[in-house]
Structure 1
Amino acid sequence: MELLTEDMIELNQHFATKDEAIRFCGEKLVAAGCVERDYIDAMLAREELLSVYMGNFIAIPHGTDEAKHLVKKSGICVVQVPDGVNFGTAEEEKIATVLFGIAGVGDDHLQLIQQIALYCSDVENVVYLADAQTKSDIIARLASV
């Protein structure tokens, strides 16, 4: 995953709500110059349309198709949430411990989602990312993705 750099990784984060977690990922993408600020609203709208929770304790916050014009360059952030954040409801929890915030120019976002989903289909990979102690550990682990 050549787009991933240490400044786009955050370890040991805590969020009370999924909206807070999605906003955090969006802010990382804004700060990196990947997206315009309005993309964050599109990320929240995307979650309302269809959950960005992918199973196996991961979520992939990203914007709606209508927000593609707000993407300046493709980018990805990885946010570790050891205590997890609920992307479901109180009745049906969907706990994510690793968040992949993404923005893709053109169809890049589809490729990123596919790569992440394939890698994270093995829950052992997710456990490794959730337990990683350093940003370089995460980059090394995702380098082959």
Structure 2
Amino acid sequence: MPVLTIEQITTDPRATTKDEAIQEAADALVAAGAVTPEYADSMREREASVSTYMGNLLAIPHGTNEAKDSILDSALSVARYETPLDWDGNEVRFVIGIAGKDGGHLEILSKIAIVFADEDEVAKLVAAPDAEAILALLGDVND
């Protein structure tokens, strides 16, 4: 099963704050059948101990190690914000929620990090006209 599908990508999210964005990411992972609703609390706990801001307009909220019981399957959610969110003083346009079953999140994280380390790729993601285009740019996460 792919970790990222077209249904898990949004280009018109509603959140205007970091906390709302974390909840949206969790809700998308719940909708994908990857996590239980309790996972959102674990994402907030993780954020309280260490920021998930990664640089280059990206934040990757994810749960704590203790949350593994609320992870049903590995999956991603991707939200692109037109108006940057304030993430502890950093501008964020992309919030990628992540759930990794049995440690699968580390490989997924490394694939995302490779894309977002390249400013040209980030520019393509910002300019992508729709979810299909974003999926095409991030599709390697499913390999």
TM-score, normalisation: structure 1: 0.91
Deviation (angstroms), 1:130: 2.0
Instruction: Letter of the 1:109 partner, please give it.
Output: H
- State the partner residue of 1:11: 11
In 2, are the aligned partners of 1:35 and 1:103 still within 8 Å (CA)?
Answer: yes
Separation of aligned partners in 2, 1:141 and 1:23: 24
Deviation (angstroms), 1:144: 3.1
Deviation (angstroms), 1:126: 1.6
- State the partner residue of 1:97: 93
TM-score, normalisation: structure 2: 0.92
- State the partner residue of 1:36: 36
In 1, are the aligned partners of 2:82 and 2:93 still within 8 Å (CA)?
Answer: yes
In 1, are the aligned partners of 2:111 and 2:140 still within 8 Å (CA)?
Answer: no
Q: Show structure 1 runs of 4+ deviating over 2 A.
A: 12-16
Deviation (angstroms), 1:132: 1.3
In 2, are the aligned partners of 1:77 and 1:101 still within 8 Å (CA)?
Answer: yes
Alignment partner of 1:125 is 2:102:
no
Deviation (angstroms), 1:112: 1.4
- State the partner residue of 1:136: 132
- State the partner residue of 1:64: 64
The alignment yields a C-alpha RMSD, in angstroms, of 1.2
Deviation (angstroms), 1:14: 4.3
More helix by share: 2
Separation of aligned partners in 2, 1:9 and 1:138: 8
Q: Percent identity?
A: 37
Instruction: Letter of the 2:100 partner, please give it.
Output: G
Separation of aligned partners in 1, 2:14 and 2:56: 19
Instruction: Return 5+ residue gaps in structure 1 as ranges.
Output: none
In 1, are the aligned partners of 2:44 and 2:63 still within 8 Å (CA)?
Answer: yes
- State the partner residue of 1:26: 26
Separation of aligned partners in 2, 1:15 and 1:130: 17
Separation of aligned partners in 1, 2:54 and 2:38: 24
In 2, are the aligned partners of 1:58 and 1:126 still within 8 Å (CA)?
Answer: no
Deviation (angstroms), 1:61: 0.9
Separation of aligned partners in 2, 1:113 and 1:76: 10
Deviation (angstroms), 1:43: 0.5
1:40-66 superposed Cα distances (whole Å, 9 cap, x missing partner): 100011110100100011000110011
